[in-house]
A and B are shown apart, each in its own frame.
Chain A
Amino acid sequence: MIAFIGRRILQLIPVLLIASVGIWAMLYAVPGGPIGVIVGENATPESIEAARREFGLDRPVAVQYADWLINAVRGDLGASIHSREPVFDLIMDRLPATLQLAVAATIVALVLGIPVAVISAMYPGGWADRILSGWSALALGVPTFWLGILLILWFAVDLRWLPSVSQHVAIWADPAVALRNLILPAITLGVYVSGVIARFLRASLVTELNADYVRTVRSKGLTEGAIMRLHVLPNALLPFITIVGLMMASFIGGAVVTEAVFTYPGLGRLLIQAINTRDYPLIQGCIVVILVIYVLINLTVDILYAYVDPRIEYA
């Protein structure tokens, strides 16, 4: 098991290294380079030279990259061009908000997605299956940002039940206020993910329902509900774990958009602000952190999968 985990981590290194070169090189592909943003448009050759020296851009390219990488591994992602604050601190400031949104949206997605998948798999081709399949197509097809706008129109503008702009309040600080702020963004992001869950889990359930062991337990007189709960669902959830890894990419993308809809102060909004102000160290930092989170989740999913399914060999 430990050898398996070690090998999976080793496999990640080339991917992360190539990605890090890409993210680092981003700066150098910018017309005029990052210096253009720092010194502004009316810069003299002297001020450009001074800025180049201050940011270490006069050193050999390989040295600059190695330096950047070593610092990044240590958690030093440089300083924001605009606020001059450490990028790492700015990101850590926003991370809890995004994680709280992600957890809330996952709960919404599971609560909506699993029943839809179970019901439509139990009656394949029936009217419930048709309606629910249509629903998951809708959940996947409706753009996250538009769904968010519709929810704001209905619950914030029309009914005035919930705020149209969501603040970040830690759930343990004030659960009631935190929930008020979290409900609409979590539904917006969760509905999309529930569509993904419903579609993949239904396919997985239908495959399991046709397996020989289901016929055996059915002949022993178990009810359909018990078969689903005790036998089919646990088995179908196994392949489903790998889907969670695939889902993460759209989940992160959806989170960025959802944060924009609700002006929610998370990592995604920080990234958009950084792009709009051309704050390159901050852009790099946000992308590095999101990439690392994404890779770590995928790694956890792989290990979890190997752990819960004894048929997988980690030798």
Chain B
Amino acid sequence: MKQMHAILAALRGLLRQTGATLGLGFLGLIVLIAVFADLLPLDPLGQDFLRTLEGPSRDYWFGTDELGRDILSRVVFGARTSLVTAAGAVTIAALIGVPMGLIGGFFGGWRDAVLMRLVDVMMALPAILFAMALIAVFGRSQGAALLAVGITGIPGFARIVRAQVLTLRKRDFVVAVEAFGGTASYNMFRTILPNSWSQILVQVVVLSSVAILLEAALAFLGVGVPPPTPSWGEMLRTGKSYLHEAPYYAVLPGIVLTLTILAFDSIGRGLSRLIENPRDAALQGSLK
């Protein structure tokens, strides 16, 4: 329940900021479109060889691609690929990273040393290289892209949660639970974790934008979600080959991708502003 409360409070705080409100609005639209894509009169795979690489028209609002497929449909279904990859990746990163940070910060000592060295190593490699290396091993599939992006997000969660645990560890309410005989796991998951939700939420938003960018970048490099599944990065990759014949092909999916990333970014910055300036009169009481 505490998570729900934190999310609702954050939402109220965000809606008082223009940038974050715009971000939430655009993102809401993209999520709606991705969820209800099947109900729309769209066909991302149907080919029309008589009408390839056409410009925007009444029949095809965003034009057609090299196989005569409707680019608008592919952008809409690409949103689904993007959001599913991001959601899956963030879940993987949080499920592994949060316990790592909790255990490292709570126990300290050798557990902390081992876990943080692991985090150091993961951070020693740029995320995109790490993801490419994993895909080189697992082969190219949506699952591999999701897993690769997710693993690169683990250090972020581990570090943020660990820092939060370290500041809470010696606080009276945590020591009190310990004094009353609360077990370490009770203390970690029931006392400390609920007080870290706002930080975790910010990380979820930040990582979502990174995940969408990374998924698109991998697809653009030709190692992401394999065709014919529509993906924004893949569309930019193909569109790049037809810049002379069909300039809009690489431009329109890029606009949607950029706006989605900017939306997550503005929400993330809005949330951090809420946490950093709790005294700000306009935002008072909206987030702990």
Q: Are B135 and A275 in contact (CB under 8 A)?
A: yes
Residues of A within 8 A of B137 (CB): 26, 29-30
Known A22-B121, A145-B217, A290-B129: A276·B223 in contact at CB below 8 Å: yes
Query: Given the complex of chains A and B, what is the CA–CA distance between A149 and B250 in angstroms?
Result: 7
Write the chain B residue with the least CB distance to A248.
B126
A31 at the binding interface (Cβ < 8 Å): yes
A109 at the binding interface (Cβ < 8 Å): no
Query: Given the complex of chains A and B, what is the CA–CA distance between A248 and B125 in angstroms?
Result: 10
Smallest CB separation, A136 vs chain B (Å): 11
Q: Are A287 and B125 in contact (CB under 8 A)?
A: yes
Q: Are B126 and A294 in contact (CB under 8 A)?
A: yes
Option from B123, B129, B220, B262 in Cβ contact (under 8 Å) with A138: B262
B258 at the binding interface (Cβ < 8 Å): yes
Q: Are A249 and B121 in contact (CB under 8 A)?
A: no
Q: Are B265 and A137 in contact (CB under 8 A)?
A: yes
A4-45 toward B: CB 8 Å interface, digit per residue (1/0)?
A: 000000000011001100110010011100000000000000
Q: Are B126 and A271 in contact (CB under 8 A)?
A: no
Main secondary structure of the interface of B (DSSP, over half): helix
Residues of A within 8 A of B217 (CB): 143-145, 253, 257
Smallest CB separation, B253 vs chain A (Å): 9
Q: Are A145 and B220 in contact (CB under 8 A)?
A: yes
Q: Are A287 and B261 in contact (CB under 8 A)?
A: no
Q: Are B223 and A275 in contact (CB under 8 A)?
A: yes
Known A260-B221, A275-B223: A149·B243 in contact at CB below 8 Å: yes
Query: Given the complex of chains A and B, what is the CA–CA distance between A23 and B137 in angstroms?
Result: 11
Q: Are A295 and B124 in contact (CB under 8 A)?
A: yes
Residues of A within 8 A of B118 (CB): 18
Smallest CB separation, A280 vs chain B (Å): 8
Known A31-B139, A272-B223, A290-B129: A153·B250 in contact at CB below 8 Å: yes
Name the interface residues of B126-150: CB closer than 8 Å to any CB of A: 126-129, 132-133, 135-137, 139
Write the chain A residue with the least CB distance to B266.
A137
Query: Given the complex of chains A and B, what is the CA–CA distance between A152 and B139 in angstroms?
Result: 31
Query: Given the complex of chains A and B, what is the CA–CA distance between A39 and B254 in angstroms?
Result: 41
Known A260-B221, A275-B136, A283-B136: A137·B121 in contact at CB below 8 Å: no
Name the interface residues of A143-195: CB closer than 8 Å to any CB of B: 143-146, 149-150, 152-153, 156-157, 164
B25 at the binding interface (Cβ < 8 Å): no
Q: Are B128 and A257 in contact (CB under 8 A)?
A: yes
B240 at the binding interface (Cβ < 8 Å): yes
Q: Are A18 and B223 in contact (CB under 8 A)?
A: no
Option from B133, B216, B223, B262 in Cβ contact (under 8 Å) with A287: B133
A48 at the binding interface (Cβ < 8 Å): no
Q: Are A153 and B128 in contact (CB under 8 A)?
A: no
Q: Are B223 and A152 in contact (CB under 8 A)?
A: no
Residues of B within 8 A of A30 (CB): 136-137
Smallest CB separation, A210 vs chain B (Å): 16
B92-118 toward A: CB 8 Å interface, digit per residue (1/0)?
A: 000000000000000000000000011
Q: Are B129 and A252 in contact (CB under 8 A)?
A: yes
A116-151 toward B: CB 8 Å interface, digit per residue (1/0)?
A: 000000000000000000000110111111100110
Query: Given the complex of chains A and B, what is the CA–CA distance between A150 and B257 in angstroms?
Result: 14
Query: Given the complex of chains A and B, what is the CA–CA distance between A19 and B124 in angstroms?
Result: 8
A71 at the binding interface (Cβ < 8 Å): no
Q: Are A146 and B258 in contact (CB under 8 A)?
A: yes
Query: Given the complex of chains A and B, what is the CA–CA distance between A159 and B187 in angstroms?
Result: 64
A261 at the binding interface (Cβ < 8 Å): yes
Residues of A within 8 A of B236 (CB): 145-146, 149
Known A29-B137, A143-B216, A260-B221: A153·B251 in contact at CB below 8 Å: yes
Option from B125, B221, B244, B258 in Cβ contact (under 8 Å) with A142: B258
Q: Are A291 and B124 in contact (CB under 8 A)?
A: yes
Residues of B within 8 A of A157 (CB): 243-244, 247
Query: Given the complex of chains A and B, what is the CA–CA distance between A40 and B24 in angstroms?
Result: 51
A250 at the binding interface (Cβ < 8 Å): yes
Q: Are A19 and B121 in contact (CB under 8 A)?
A: yes
Query: Given the complex of chains A and B, what is the CA–CA distance between A179 and B244 in angstroms?
Result: 24
Q: Are B220 and A137 in contact (CB under 8 A)?
A: no
Most buried by B among A26, A29, A149, A153: A149
Residues of A within 8 A of B133 (CB): 23, 26, 283, 287
- Report which A residues bind B (CB closer than 8 A): 14-15, 18-19, 22-23, 26, 29-31, 137-138, 140-146, 149-150, 152-153, 156-157, 164, 248-250, 252-253, 256-257, 260-261, 271-272, 274-276, 278, 280, 283, 287, 290-291, 294-295
20 pairs of residues in contact across A and B, judged by CB atoms under 8 Å:
A15-B117, A15-B121, A26-B133, A137-B269, A138-B262, A141-B261, A143-B258, A145-B233, A146-B254, A146-B257, A149-B254, A152-B243, A157-B247, A249-B126, A256-B129, A256-B132, A257-B221, A275-B136, A275-B223, A276-B222
